Structure 1
């Protein structure tokens, strides 16, 4: 990356973080720490965000589930199917509410059975191998490649051994903004910044063309 390109990338990154530098976990009210409850909440949020539904609706649905006490795998598994459906509907998550309710219940039981309700056990199993971590996540009903990407992208804030992770959607956002489209070069751009927030902001730029345009205009004004 040339000096000029590097300076341009820094301006775009600064504008991006100023415009939308917030993780989806933070937006959903999850105080992410390396403890069982917030890690499980992140898994639920990743599940909801991975469906073909607008991100704000997925975040609102996660908030509704948590507000109704479904903050742990045990509480999620103990809730009735209808209670989960009602909470999802309250958050506006209606298109996939019935299927998702079933998947959340089954996923919670798997987390309890396999990892005793503590996703740090999955972290230990992965032992720093992100692909093993992603494969473990995909064992959970409703978590496919997209959901695993989302979880890893957000959990890098507390599990640094994942390395810098933006996922396919984050790379789309980088391309839209004119930033490097390789993870290695993006990692250089993200140096000394909150990488999880940067990755989430790239995704927001991928999902919303207007956000990307606002960021580019703001970056140009910084010259």
Structure 2
């Protein structure tokens, strides 16, 4: 089958954004969702499965802890308990401290709206994202992968495990060509998520049939 078939099947079968798995919608262009995704990237950057990270992110969201004001003002042990009950038994205390510090940083430096990190230079934005404790380079790149759905500075972006998986599946790694095959900015972002999921969990059966 063609590269176009593989792209279409990836998006259809594995194109759920990791932010969506946490109950966030970056296309709403809201300060809460952008902050929540930064917390989510702290979870995804830790040494735990992406599935458990999504589960923990959704649980934090359900408790209102993906809002910087709520998270900064929450009782530390309530945040620890939420993480502990959702797959973070080994990292619950340190991660709770990290994300509460991130909430305070976002409030102190950006009045709770991390769109204040935006700059025409993508590397500058990536550096600013790393002001969040526990995010690091890995988490900043994860943030950029999905923020590109609305943040022009990152689009089109395909790197890390997603780029390696594209090559493994016989796809071009030319961003412009992949964006053209995806057909829209949203679908390209979903393609990046799908390739990441394929890299982590293996390609979906429909994708394997197309390769």
> Structure 1 length normalisation: TM-score?
0.87
How far residue 161 of structure 1 moved from its aligned partner, in angstroms, is: 3.1
Structure 1 position 26 matched with structure 2 position 20? yes
Residue equivalent to 1:112: 107
User: Structure 1 residue aligned with 2:175, among 180, 183, 192?
Assistant: 183
1:35–1:120 Cα contact (<8 Å) kept: no
Q: Which runs of 5+ in 1 are unaligned?
A: 1-6
TM-score (normalizing by structure 2): 0.92
Distance 1:52 1:186, change over 3 A: farther
Identify the range of structure 1 (90-99 vs 106-115) with the bigger mean alpha-carbon deviation.
90-99
Gaps in structure 2 of 5+ consecutive residues = none
C-alpha separation in 1, matches of 2:141 and 2:159: 6
Moved over 2 A (4+): 181-193, 211-214
Which has more radius of gyration? Answer: 1
Corresponding residue to 2:199 among 192, 197, 206? 206
Indicate the structure whose relative CO is greater, using CA pairs within 8 Å and at least 6 residues apart: 2
Equivalent of residue 135 in structure 1, options 123, 127, 150: 127
Paired residue total: 209
Secondary structure of 2:134's match? coil
Match of 1:158 in 2: 150
Please state how far the C-alpha of 1:178 moved relative to its aligned partner: 1.5
SS in 2 for 1:62: helix
Residue matched to 1:48: 43
Distance in 2 separating the partners of 1:29 and 1:19: 19
Superposed CA offset, 1:65-120 (max 9, x none)? 11112121111111122111111112212221111011111111111111111011
Q: Is the 8 A contact 2:23 2:61 kept in 1?
A: no
Deviating more after overlay: 199-208 vs 168-177 = 168-177
